[in-house]
Amino acid sequence: NAGVMQNPRHLVRRRGQEARLRCSPMKGHSHVYWYRQLPEEGLKFMVYLQKENIIDESGMPKERFSAEFPKEGPSILRIQQVVRGDSAAYFCASSPRGRRPDTQYFGPGTRLTVL
């Protein structure tokens, strides 16, 4: 049973370019969460999605960041016009129900480097 999959594992972008990060949840999971881990910082919640719905985006920066989880295909975290401060590890997690208490399973992450 495959775990949460993320790609690419490493992504390098120049300032001003766009970054697209993909996440495929575990089989049978319909709830996806995105987190960001800055160097020397803990993981910070960004957004929680179900299929075709954004449930909670309270942790998302107001500008340049967006997320989607279409009916078919992976969840996408999109960062427009990247800046150096966006360099971080971005993790996706999935859960089967999304109701508390629940357990989230994490992918291996995408390391974004902005030059």
Residues lying near another protein in the complex (CB under 8 A) are found at: 4, 6, 33, 35, 41-48, 55-56, 58-59, 91, 93, 98, 100-109, 111
Return the number of the residue (1 or 103) whose C-beta is nearest another protein. Answer: 103
Return the number of the residue (14 or 58) whose C-beta is nearest another protein. Answer: 58
Helix/strand/coil for 72: coil
Q: Which of 46, 47, 44, 50 is closest to 29 using CA atoms? A: 50
CB of 16 to another protein, least distance (A): 27
| Residue with token string 């960041």 | 65
Query: What are the Cα distances from residue 77, in Å, to 6, 40, 102, 103?
Result: 11, 22, 23, 21
User: 75: burial class by Cβ within 10 Å (0-12, 13-18, 19+)?
Assistant: buried
Return the number of the residue (17 or 29) whose C-beta is nearest another protein. Answer: 29
CB of 92 to another protein, least distance (A): 8
CB of 110 to another protein, least distance (A): 10
Return the number of the residue (62 or 100) whose C-beta is nearest another protein. Answer: 100
CB of 107 to another protein, least distance (A): 5
User: What are the tokens at 4?
Assistant: 């949460």
